[in-house]
């Protein structure tokens, strides 16, 4: 249950942001945003995830690999359009860039 707690707490936030119809932020200042570190999967993350919400929303999360995997696949179930390979790239990028602070290697 505790594994799902961050996801359950974030689901209303993601829904609220998506409902506001925020414009895509994959261009412009987001590409220069130091809060979103460079690395493999960043471009895919920006393209896929910014179609529904501001990509900077992930900077407030610290999840282990399984937590990011659950969250990314939940977003895919809610309509994020990406191949399985792209989803894996996103999961790896988020896991590496925003690890669980209690266990950064998880």
Sign of the C-alpha dihedral computed for residues 13, 15, 17 and 19 taken in this order: negative
Q: What is the pLDDT of residues 50-95, one digit of tens each?
A: 989 999 999 999 999 999 999 999 999 999 999 999 999 999 999 9
- The CA-based dihedral angle spanning residues 103, 62, 15, 4, taken in that order and rounded to the nearest 10 degrees: 10
Tell me if the pTM is above 0.85: no
102 falls in which pLDDT band (50, 70, 90)? confident
Residues recorded for the chain: 106
Residue boundaries of the structural domains of the chain: 5-97
Helix (H, G, I), strand (E, B) or coil at 24: coil
Helix (H, G, I), strand (E, B) or coil at 104: coil
Averaged pLDDT score across all residues of the chain: 79
Mean pLDDT of 26-31: 44
- Check: CB of residue 48 under 8 Å from CB of residue 89: no
Q: Could you give the CA distance from residue 87 to residue 19 in angstroms, rounded to a whole number?
A: 23
Least confident segment among 2-11, 33-42, 48-57, 65-74:
2-11
Supply the pLDDT for residue 14: 56
């Amino acid at each position: 249950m505790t594994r799902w707690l961050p996801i359950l707490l974030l689901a209303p936030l993601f829904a609220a942001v998506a409902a506001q119809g925020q414009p895509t932020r994959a261009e412009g200042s987001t590409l220069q945003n130091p809060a979103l570190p460079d690395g493999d999967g960043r471009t895919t993350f920006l393209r896929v995830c910014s179609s529904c919400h501001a990509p900077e929303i992930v900077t407030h999360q610290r999840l282990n690999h399984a937590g990011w995997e659950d969250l990314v696949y939940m977003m895919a179930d809610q309509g994020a359009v990406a191949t399985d390979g792209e989803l894996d790239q996103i999961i790896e990028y988020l896991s590496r860039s925003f690890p669980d602070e209690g266990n950064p290697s998880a």
